[in-house]
Structure 1
């Protein structure tokens, strides 16, 4: 059954039951009150009548019936009672609304307290006229002796009629309450459905489960705060990024208490969105996104997602390496296609000696490079990028010089090889671009790699125009480039990678006439600073 219908039914049934119970309780309470009021009225009339002098005098008359009957009837009509009965000390009637019953003994067996004990009281008994509520009072003579009893009665049937007169009003009130309850249940069920965005409880439970699983599965840290800046949710990645154990309770604490430099309070105040903002979180470089949570056009909270800069750099590095390897393979494929086309043409022209000479020459050049790398650069990462860059240089008609003094057996295990590959690839790619506008015979790029035992030296030199002096202060800034707009990431990445490796960058004018980048990476990981 849909939630809205269930809320309506439960609310309507509950209100109806409460209204009916209240109506019944009110009916019985009112009935008891009316019955008590009529009983007290009967008692007061009986007591007042018993104390009248003419009543006492009537008992002393020669014919008490003739003296008391008119008085009793007068009182009955005046107070609208069903009967006013007067009896002697033996319970024999002197006055009664029905004359035939005068002289007979009073019915009901409830006169003993009045005749024997002299008490005035209210009793409920079945008299000669039927069940009645009666007020009883003894009659005393001047000597204080009990000479008779006064009984004033109201039939229960008449009292019930009085009750029934109020039943319609009670029923109307109950029905009105039920009607208002049904209307209220309808409004409540609709409002609850609206607040819950029209979703059923099962759907909400599924969404909550899916949301929890999704938040816990993402690798980005996520922190959510309410409008007061109190943390309401963190995922495991956030605990890891903040270097907090998951057993430490952060939910319920102020975001400024956990992260004093957080800008989430600013987002809560302004509603501004922050995208890809750099931030230092507990000593770690991160990229942060912050967005406000809007409910009915009001800021109800904010959520922040962040990722460690090192993770992003690693992904970018891997993509950059894949791109470089792809370009290198494409260059090699293109170069060999040209080589095969040339051989095919020479064979078709029957220039067999020239074809053999070309094959031997190409094989010797590649064999020489492979042998040099195998002996002097045994690290597969560096060897692979050098071979790829060599093929790319052939495609661009650039003379690629691998310094014969280069020597590096293996990179230390504690130094990230990806960073070395990225540094060499970006420097050589920039060198290729620096010489691309020169005549083919002047396009030269030299690479030198050396492990001297204490540090690893990387040199990349080109024969280009070099770097202008006015560009030096901005050389390693993000998006600064001496080329067209939209560039300026390569040198920035080189600078960051060298810093991560605790290395040093030197820039000089090389022997080839262009820029000479010298990078020193300490094998012990000691930070020396950076020179631009």
Structure 2
């Protein structure tokens, strides 16, 4: 598989990388050179600036005239001579008050001097200063009068040369180093490339990388499952994770998707073509999230690549959250009802209608007792019973009679099973209430049967039912009869199917006498299609 479209040979690539490395080394050497030049400049000029400052401070004219009312012209003459001898940018004489008394720059006179050591300390200093935002090296020496008292200081400052000037001084050596290294690099790259090509049987790095990418990264190096399908619907790539998730093997590569034993939903997804949003499909005991992307070569679509991940654990958590949310919503409806009752009682008390208060409380108590008895006489599991009591109350608020069929019987369940039942039952009831209310119906019935080892849930509504052409799409994630943008649209029934499938059961829908009938099984009990 020797590629004929080589743009860069191995020798050229090695040479380019070596030149890049040499340039980086050159930059580092240049930075070190500039730093070393700066250090040399600082050490030599500090000593010179300090010597000039001490010499100036010891001048008899400076010692005698650096007093208030002294001869400034005589001082300026001394400053000019010191500047010309030392090459300093600025020479200043500073009084005891820290103000500049004389300077080579007339604009400095009367301003506060930039000193490293206060005037009153009376000691010499040399080092770096920053004057007017410019970095400089300076020397500072005290001016001692005839009375052995400090009269001020002499400050001599010289700017650091620009970094370009410091670098230019080292340019010949740097260019010589780069030229010699370049010649050696070219010779070394040519020899090394010939040696490597002999070891790799003439393959260039692009050929080696292409083989490694296809064989390792795509097939075994990706945690998610990956399936490639060409434009004719033939499987071209299946990595190890996809084989495990879908039950495929190496022998399936090269076969058409329709000829492979796959879950129908997965098969349709693989050959659909085009890009897709993440889609949830339940395959046996796995909950897979699949995403499809179209692939192109030279601007032409050549197939699709589908990635998939197992989200069974995430579904279990989502099921528990949905169960708690269902109970919370139902309890919120009860709270609303009790608020109305309390407001009525408050009004009756204010009107002095105490008999009516007693009658209303008795009616509420009776109604609560009737609902609780109607549920608990058929359902022994406290969590499921609590959900049903709350749902009955919520249904009554919108004028719908939610009833439990007389033959219903549900034993106490394990907490995990109970959470699944709450998810399934809560979503089916909510779906039935929405359908019934939108169609103007008045009744929803629930039938429960079974115990810890398997149970069946049947929910029938008096809504518009399910159109025959939509029955096979009801449980698809994203499909819904609700208007676009509705909260929870296209999620509830897909979650019901996922929970049932995970537990070894299933959910079906049929057209009843007055609406849709949903029958779900959990724990291995088959769901009987009822009308």
Bigger Rg, which one: 1
Please, what TM-score do these two structures have when normalized by structure 2?
0.45
Please, what TM-score do these two structures have when normalized by structure 1?
0.45
